[in-house]
Amino acid sequence: MSYQRVLLKLSGEALMGELGYGIDPKVVSEIAQEIADVVNSGVQIAVVVGGGNIFRGVKASAAGMDRATADYIGMIATVMNAMTLQDALERIGIPTRVQSAIAMQELAEPYIRRRAIRHLEKGRVVVFGAGSGNPFFTTDTTAALRAAEIDAEVIFKATKVDGIYDADPKINPHARRYQSLTYGHVLNHELKVMDSTAIALCKENNIPILVFDLTVGGNIIRAVKGEPVGTIVGGFCEVS
């Protein structure tokens, strides 16, 4: 199965590569080129980016900071990442719009659903920043929300592992990778794919989630073409 409109969920950590903090411009350029390959193939792509490479609200709140304040700071970090990705994309000729759920009119468009869809239809990449604009919700949940709003056919959850396993493959060499999973299995077994709110939202709107390894070059375009990469959530339980 190939897709025509996808939503790519990038963690903030994906942008820092092997660095301990911040943004690795080389890694961002590589990700931008992969996104460009998708656009040049005629597929519409939107991106939700996290901010964990700069600030993690949950960690800060655990250390005593007010949770809502910490989450708002994290949202601002995601806008920094969104602007960085926009710059990398536009340097290689891919028109890109950043839409922020928190008003930052000098830096980004406000999030407007119809405008986002129109950008996609015109072949532009839309990068959603500032999460959902509300504290206590993760960028995973934002990805599920935006995917439903723009009628994306699938969420690509780009990670550093090649799918979902029945055990930690770094600890258990006999861990088996799932080829597909039901939403219920992920929720019932508390698998660390996305948070439960995001999974439930995807289940309600019948949006599959494809989990794959971002560090393997070409995986995004392979996923767009429907090639077997990673684990798909939304089907039935099958291990490889």
Could you tell me which residues are annotated as the binding site?
9-12, 51-52, 56, 71, 132-139, 159, 165, 168
* CA triple 150-153-155, angle to 5 deg: 90
Nearest to 142 by CA among 48, 235, 27, 78: 48
Domain of 9: which CATH number? 3.40.1160.10
Q: Looking at residues 183-199, what average pLDDT do you find?
A: 91
Number of domains forming the structure of the chain: 1
Could you tell me which residues are annotated as the binding site for UMP?
51, 71, 132-139
Nearest to 211 by CA among 184, 176, 178: 178
Largest CA distance in the chain: 52
- For residue 101, the model assigns a pLDDT of 97
**Cα–Cα distance measured from residue 47 to residue 125, given in angstroms and rounded to the nearest whole number:** 8
Whole-number Cα distances in Å, 40 to 1, 37, 92, 221:
18, 5, 12, 10
Would you say residue 237 has pLDDT above 80? Answer: no
Q: Which residues pair with 126 in a beta bridge?
A: 46, 97
- Beginning with the edge strand found earlier in the chain, give each strand of the sheet holding 238-239 in spatial order: 109-110, 96-100, 125-129, 44-49, 5-10, 154-159, 209-213, 231-233, 178-181, 238-239
Contact 12, 142 (CB under 8 A): no
Paired tokens of 42: 């005629």
Domain around 192: 5-239
Could you tell me which residues are annotated as the binding site for ATP?
9-12, 52, 56, 159, 165, 168
- The band of 46, judged by pLDDT with boundaries at 50, 70 and 90, is very high
- The band of 53, judged by pLDDT with boundaries at 50, 70 and 90, is very high
Residue whose structure tokens are 């931008």 = 32
Would you say residue 1 has pLDDT above 80? Answer: no
Whole-number Cα distances in Å, 235 to 1, 67, 239:
13, 35, 12
- For residue 59, the model assigns a pLDDT of 76
Helix, strand, or coil (residue 158): strand
Paired tokens of 164: 């979902």
**Cα–Cα distance measured from residue 198 to residue 196, given in angstroms and rounded to the nearest whole number:** 5
**Cα–Cα distance measured from residue 162 to residue 128, given in angstroms and rounded to the nearest whole number:** 25
- By residue count, the chain amounts to 240
Residue whose structure tokens are 């550093």 = 160
Q: Looking at residues 60-79, what average pLDDT do you find?
A: 90
- For residue 240, the model assigns a pLDDT of 60
- For residue 193, the model assigns a pLDDT of 86
pLDDT, one tens digit per residue, over 83-128 is 999 999 999 999 999 999 999 999 999 999 999 999 999 999 999 9
Q: Which residues pair with 48 in a beta bridge?
A: 9, 128
- For residue 171, the model assigns a pLDDT of 86
**Cα–Cα distance measured from residue 209 to residue 158, given in angstroms and rounded to the nearest whole number:** 10
Q: Looking at residues 156-170, what average pLDDT do you find?
A: 87
